[in-house]
Chain A
Amino acid sequence: MAAREEKPFLKRLSKIARLSEADMAALEGMPLVLRTFAADQDVVVEGERPHNCFAILEGLMCCYKLTGNGGRQIPAFYVAGDIPDLHSLHLKVIDTSLRTVSPCTLAFVEHETLHALCQKSYAIASALWRVTLIDGSIFREWETNIGRREAAARMAHVMCEAYLRLQAVGLVEGLSFLFPITQQQLGDALGISTVHVNRTLQSLRREGLLRFESGRVEILDWPAMKVRGDFDPGYLHQDLSDWVPSR
Chain B
Amino acid sequence: MQKYFFDVYRDHELIPDEVGSEFADLPTAAREAVLVLGELTREELATATSLELAILVRDQSGRQLLNAKVRFDMEFNSLK
Q: Which residues of A contact B (CB under 8 A)?
A: 150-151, 183, 192-196, 198-199, 201-202
Contacts and interface: CB of A to CB of B under 8 A. Distances in A.
B32 A193 contact: yes
Contact of B43 (A151, A193, A195): A151
A203 to B, nearest CB: 8
A78 B19 CA distance: 27
Contacts, number: 37
Interface of B: 6, 8, 15, 17-21, 32-33, 35-36, 39-40, 43, 46
B18 A195 contact: no
- Chain B interface SS verdict (over half): mixed
A94 B12 CA distance: 50
A199 B8 contact: yes
B40 A196 contact: yes
A194 B36 CA distance: 9
The 4 closest A-B pairs by CB, nearest first: A193-B35, A195-B36, A195-B6, A196-B39
Contacts of B20: 198
Contacts of B6: 195, 198-199
A interface, over-half SS:
helix
A198 B19 contact: yes
Contacts of A202: 17-19
Contacts of B40: 196
A194 B33 CA distance: 10
Contacts of B18: 202
Given A193-B32, A193-B35, A150 B19 contact: no
Nearest to B35: A193
8 contacts: A194-B32, A195-B6, A196-B36, A198-B17, A198-B21, A199-B8, A199-B36, A202-B19
A150 B46 contact: yes
A193 B6 CA distance: 12
Given A150-B46, A199-B8, A193 B39 contact: yes
A34 B35 CA distance: 42
B56 to A, nearest CB: 12
Contacts of A199: 6, 8, 15, 17, 36
A199 B15 CA distance: 9
Given A199-B8, A199-B17, A202-B19, A193 B46 contact: no
